[in-house]
Structure 1
Amino acid sequence: MNCNSSSLLEPLNLTTIDDDCKTLIFDFFEWEDLLSLADTSKKLYAAACGVYRRKYGKGRLHIISEIQRGSFVQPDVDVDDRGKALKLLRNFGHLVSHLFFSTYKGRYEPVEFVFLIENYLAEYCSKTLKHLELTHPPMILFKEIRNPFINIENIDLHGYQAPICEFPFSSVFPNLNLLQIWFSCFSEEFTPICIPQMKKLSLFGGRIHQRSELNVNRATNFEENEIKEMLRLNPQLEELKLNLYSIKDIIFQDLSLPNLKRLSPTMHFNSNIKNADRYHFENVIDFNLPFHKITNIPFTFSQLERFEYSCFEDKTIKPYVLEFISENKYLKSVILTNVWDGINSLFPILTELNHIEEVSVETTLYEIPSSTWNLIPELFSQIQSLKKFTLWISRIRNFSEKIKNATQNRNPRCVWSKDGGKFGSDLKLTWLRS
């Protein structure tokens, strides 16, 4: 070996070392450092892209201001600096799959910056972006697009006031599956549209605070007509979520959604509706009714398999809820939350269901009646189809004693965990058929 070789004295150069060495070194860098490397040379760019893909592989990017931080999907990269945001899209935009861009019509960001972000999205992210969330009406993204976003499946529009009829969803997002719109208010310019490829629709808000008091009734009717027309124009929908407190359930009257499989409505329900006039859905299998103060459930189903209901307003399992469960003989799963009382009244109804497989009850009681602890194991001998019963308990007393008693049975066997749980409860007990 020639120790005097000049090659031994040459300084190391990142551009000349092999790719494996580059990767080992770059693994210590954060995304800001990778951005700097990517701009240095083509060789370093390729290595930086590889490391970025591995470290931030889910591709969830937030470009946000001081608002809404932490409110949405946890990002892999969170960028506040405008220059870095543009630089990241330019270098790693082809690796971004989920983008949340927050600004309210330039109130927090200059219009020029919004314009550049949308241009960069169109240029660098059109082939890889799958989920897009915006808190502002797009300036050019939907109107002057050069390349369609062929992989986008989900679009969330927050605080929305612009007329969606102006946006060519079908041509720009040919594979759109889910559209979620969070209205800050309804606009007189809102015009329902048909989006043939859309399978899931979620609408939230629908307040009328921008209209005069004298115009409230007309405005409410206006909103109901718009929503109903939006649904009528999209009979292909398979999933529908409506969280519209100012809208009445009359929008379902004479409405045909033959492909609908999942329904979750939050709105004003008619408490005087007759059984014969209830809204019927032939193919819905999943029905979620959250946070309602009602006296009946104005829906009927032919093939319902899953029912989720919140007793938040009533605190107890009301007779109309039990009646609804009883009349849906094909139910496989029943989930009841915010239950304060009446758990035992559920058990006789469950024995009427020949297909029930899973039951979940979340309660805020300090004390669970001893009869409840005994009835749960008995259900498994009475209902042969039952596979799982979950009890979520908040603020339970005599914790150790309850666990000891519950876990004595071997069939069904009971397992437990003490943590936040699905509903923020302190204790989760699950009975499983052996």
Structure 2
Amino acid sequence: MQEGLSISGAMRLRYETIDGQARVGFNKSDDLLNLRTNVLARYRKADIEVAVELYDSRVWSDRIGTPVSTNEVNAFEPVQAYIAGTFQEPLGAGSKIAVTAGRMMLNLGSRRLVAADDYRNTTNGYTGMKADLTARNGWKGTFIYTLPQARRPDALDDVRSAKVKLDRESFDLVLWGGQISRAKTIGLASLEVTYFHLGERDAPGRPTRDRSLDTFGGRMMFEPRSSHFDYEIEAFFQTGSVSTSTSASAQRQSVAANFIHVDGGYTFPGAWTPRLSVEYDRASGDKPGGKFGRFDTLFGMRRADLAPAGLYNALARTNIETVGIRLEAKPSKRLDWFAAYRPMWLAARQDSFSSTGVRDASGRSGDFAGHQLEGRVRYWLIPKRLQFEFDGLVLAKDRFLRDAPNATAGKWTRYVSFNLIATI
């Protein structure tokens, strides 16, 4: 990386609209104008780096019943403010350790547990320490001890008016653990082992379910390349305990939850490099009696695997089982697109479906939620400077999302967003 001071940034303007909202408690039809601006200042000298990054996320045209929260609004926030240093060959020839301390954004491994969300109008920040280790023979490791930032303000009126209030980090919410990986472990496939602990407790004005979760997992993958098959397998098992509610007197319940993702694809030769893949995702839900079974994706992203956030935000990595078929291509350096279709079931029919809030505690509404068809097109209007993005989605609700006692009205959910992203 070039030494000295560098400044970069981006501004994304998004208009999104939805009809037939699938989530409980919000307007059936809605639209929203989002603006997210970030500026990163970085100074590097030899093996030392200092950086500060400001995020400013705001919305307009929201109404009563519009799903607006700190997922959409976080005004003038220093999400990153860190110092990093790199130490060469601390463990012998070819080794390297980079240590980062302060506020930072994290994207670890597959990003299914720890990520800086990109589609959402706000992002995730973490305060603490991170160590990245590179060793010989393809070994790498990342280890963290962080206090995830709780976005503020808390009051809905303050959120809607984009009141500036510094996000809060404290030992009431702690995330630590790490990942170890090695390239070409089984043939050309890489292997990754993961462990994270999340500890949570009540804070003044912020009752919680006091999560104490240990998430263990592993991933094996063969990267896509032209004229070859590729695959990825990742699985997590989650243990620990949670409170049955946010009440201070709530009982504790043991946790036993799991998640698996499997995909296999083939990249065809040619200038477009089209890739056709089949995907399978299953995240457990909570069944009556016994241990708490609803998988918690911690701070993971959802857009790359499941669906957009924003006004839609109906799918998360919890109580869902789905098979997907995806076709993606890059016709030129300026244009790329993908289309995906997936039928969706509940992993536990008595639990609420994914992040919709729709539930039938009796289980009598079945376990088939519906069919989702989505697509995305991105085009650089000005290469490396101005990009247009279109996202479109149709959800055909099936029995569960139509018949459950609190299901939202209508058979269809339609969502689109138009984005302009300017970078400097």
Higher RCO, 1 or 2 (CA under 8 Å, sep at least 6)?
2
**Under a length normalisation based on structure 1, what TM-score does the superposition of the two structures give?**
0.30
More strand as a share of residues: 2
| TM-score normalised to structure 2 length | 0.31
- Of the two, which has the highest radius of gyration? 1
Structure holding more helix per residue: 1
